[in-house]
Amino acid sequence: MCSYQKTNHSYRCQKSKLLNGPLKTEFGFEGFVVSDWGANHSGVASASAGLDIIMPNGGYWGKNLTEAVNNGSKLKQDAKFPAIGIYSNTVKHQPIEVQDDHPELIPDIGPASRFLSIYGYGATVKSTPWQNSSRFCGGFEVNYGWNTLNGTMITGGGSGSSTPSYVISPFHALSDRIAKNRGNLRWDFESETSYPPYVNSETCLVVFSDNLIKNVAANCTNTIVIIHPAGIGTVDTWISHDNITAVFFAGLPGQESSNSLVDILYGDVAPSGALLNSSVFFDYFPQDDFQEGLDLDYRAFDKNGIEPQFEFGYGLTYTTFDYADLSVSQIINGTAEYPNPDVAIAQSGNLQLGGTSYCHREHHKYGKRNSGRGRAVVYIDPGKSATVSFTLARRDLSVWDV
């Protein structure tokens, strides 16, 4: 998706240098590029620059592109187009099946008789129907219109929204596990005071809400907080509470989210995720002039001596591990600028244990900075070891001074 911002004073949705250069050529991206909502500001220019679909409607394209072609304009588009797969909500059509083996795959990526309690409106699916007419079957915008509605958050709103085939809420997944293990589950989706306090609960799960978290923690000595964020969330008022034993930063994880969550809660899978960033930035007139040099994101925090509550790359798991025998070797003739088009890129695996990251120390005229490059997740049995390799591209070790 191309965004609203400009780069070097040109809108990104018509920036051929970015779309056809680094994205589609250097990175080897073979998908399609869609504009953010209303982010396209031209006709032939953006169509020729690498933009494939504009949202939310025809805008500068539609009849305008047809007229441009009839007037002799040439669009740099391949003649081999796929079959039509996008329809308006007024056109009856068969849904396109894209699930494949996702229900089995998602728990792998995300992830005893007990008495548990779960609290918060985010623990279940909202009771009102999905009503966005712009999406097949309504769409699951839990903050559509920028108003947060009740229900578990599996996807973002606006351009980040999606239409799942079904939703496994935290309450749903926990109920299945509790029934299988002959346990007990109590719930309260609406009360902020969590009445009654279930004193027999071994664990109390709270889906993020500041006052509710504090009220539950006051009555439950093993309170676990689950966060499904769609933006910035602060934790200052409760993170140091003695009864809060764990926090799950679960992201916006899609329709199978809570099966993955339960796998981690029950210890079937060791968590291996890490925070994506540690930056906060907002500007009414977004234009990046690159005045920050190399001090982006976590490096800006390092430069300015800012200590965030949880830094970039933060993440815990259920075990400990050590690093040893670090070695570096040069790839002969490994300075190619572009990736090999014959190499398949796949994402899979049984992610049961651990994550490792590579970090190097940069020395240049901008000073000394730690720079994260590369991450791998490997399966390691208890007491065993494994070798992890990071292949670094030319860009990973490059410093630009422009």
CATH number of the domain within which 129 lies = 3.40.50.1700
233 and 109 co-located in one domain: yes
Residue 257 has pLDDT above 50, yes or no: yes
Q: Please give the DSSP secondary-structure letter assigned to residue 95.
A: P
51 and 160 co-located in one domain: no
Burial class (CB in 10 A: 0-12, 13-18, 19+), 192: middle
Sign of CA dihedral 264, 181, 169, 186: negative
Structure tokens at 77: 């588009």
Looking at residue 347, its pLDDT comes to: 26
Residue 301 is assigned to a structural domain of this protein? no
23 and 107 co-located in one domain: no
Residue 397 is assigned to a structural domain of this protein? no
Residue 62 is assigned to a structural domain of this protein? yes
Given 216, 238, 265, the domain boundary residue is 265
What's the structural domain count of the chain? 2
What's the whole-number mean pLDDT along residues 159-184? 83
Q: Which residues are catalytic?
A: 36
132 and 231 co-located in one domain: yes
Q: Which of 189, 187, 179, 191 is nearest to 204 (CA)?
A: 187
Mean pLDDT of the chain, nearest integer: 75
3-state secondary structure of 173: helix
Residue 23 is assigned to a structural domain of this protein? yes
13 and 143 co-located in one domain: no
Q: Which of 225, 191, 188, 222 is nearest to 208 (CA)?
A: 225
115-157, pLDDT tens digit by residue? 788 888 788 887 766 666 555 444 555 444 444 456 788 877 6
Given 233, 265, 297, the domain boundary residue is 265
Q: How far apart are CA 149 and CA 141, in angstroms?
A: 9
Q: Residue 108 belongs to what domain range?
A: 102-265
Residue 175 has pLDDT above 90, yes or no: yes
Residue 185 is assigned to a structural domain of this protein? yes
179 Cβ partners below 8 Å, 6+ apart? Answer: none
2-19, pLDDT tens digit by residue? 999 898 889 999 999 999
Report H helices in 115-242: 170-181, 210-217
Residue 284 is assigned to a structural domain of this protein? no
What's the whole-number mean pLDDT along residues 198-213? 84
Residue 39 has pLDDT above 80, yes or no: yes
Residue 197 is assigned to a structural domain of this protein? yes
What's the pTM value of the predicted model, to 2 decimals? 0.67
Residue 317 is assigned to a structural domain of this protein? no
Q: What is the pLDDT confidence band of residue 268, given thresholds at 50, 70 and 90?
A: confident
β-strand 203-207 against 115-119: which pairing, if any? Answer: parallel
Across 200-212, b (16+ Cβ under 10 Å) vs e yields: ebebbbbbbbeeb
Q: How far apart are CA 202 and CA 199, in angstroms?
A: 8
